[in-house]
Amino acid sequence: MELAYVGLGSNLGKRGQTIRRALELLHEEGRLEVIAVSALRETDPVGYEPQPRFLNGVAAIRTDLDPRALLQRLQAVELELGRDRSGPRFGPRTIDLDLLLYGDEQIVEHDLVVPHPRLSERRFVLEPLAELDSALEVPGRGPVRALLAALQ
């Protein structure tokens, strides 16, 4: 079983309910277990405006799915919860599930990059990661606390 971290986000509809349902659907998978969830935070949109504010957080999960299978599961849950990818990049969405970290792996493929490529630039990801594990190291980038301090 591997420890992975998944970013949670929503800015359309009943955001909190949608995030909770996404976690339920992930847990129902059977091959992964949600072991911790950070507090959810109201955040401003990044990259495309105007749009509603987001509710963001991070979940820690244990899984025997490999990174690609986990990404596919995250995308299937997004689809089930009404995620529409036809709009603008970084635009409004019912649910956004990002594979942030997968153990200490570093993966660079055309459709899968771990750690998440913008993780170190996003306070709304780093703060909940630090909340879940203040000593967490991001492979190839350093401690979450140091990455967070660099944003200050």
Q: Can you spell out the DSSP letters for 47-66? A: SS-S-PPEEEEEEEEEESS-
> Looking at residue 3, what is its pLDDT?
98
98 annotated active-site: yes
Q: Which residues on adjacent β-strands are paired with residue 42? A: 55
CATH number of the CATH domain containing 101? 3.30.70.560
Distance CA 88, CA 46 (A): 12
Distance CA 99, CA 88 (A): 20
Active-site residue, selected from the candidate residues 93, 122, 141, 145: 93
Active-site residue, selected from the candidate residues 20, 41, 66, 83: 83
Distance CA 152, CA 9 (A): 22
Q: Residue 112 belongs to what domain range? A: 2-151
Which tens digits make up the pLDDT trace of 5-58? 999 999 999 999 999 999 999 989 889 999 999 999 999 998 777 899 999 999
Instruction: State which amino acid sits at residue 86.
Output: S
The DSSP call for residue 31 is: S
The pTM (predicted TM-score) of the whole model is: 0.95
96 annotated active-site: yes
- How many independent structural domains does the chain possess? 1
> Looking at residue 46, what is its pLDDT?
82
93 annotated active-site: yes
Specify the 3-state DSSP secondary structure of 112: strand
Which tens digits make up the pLDDT trace of 122-150? 999 999 999 999 999 999 999 999 999 99
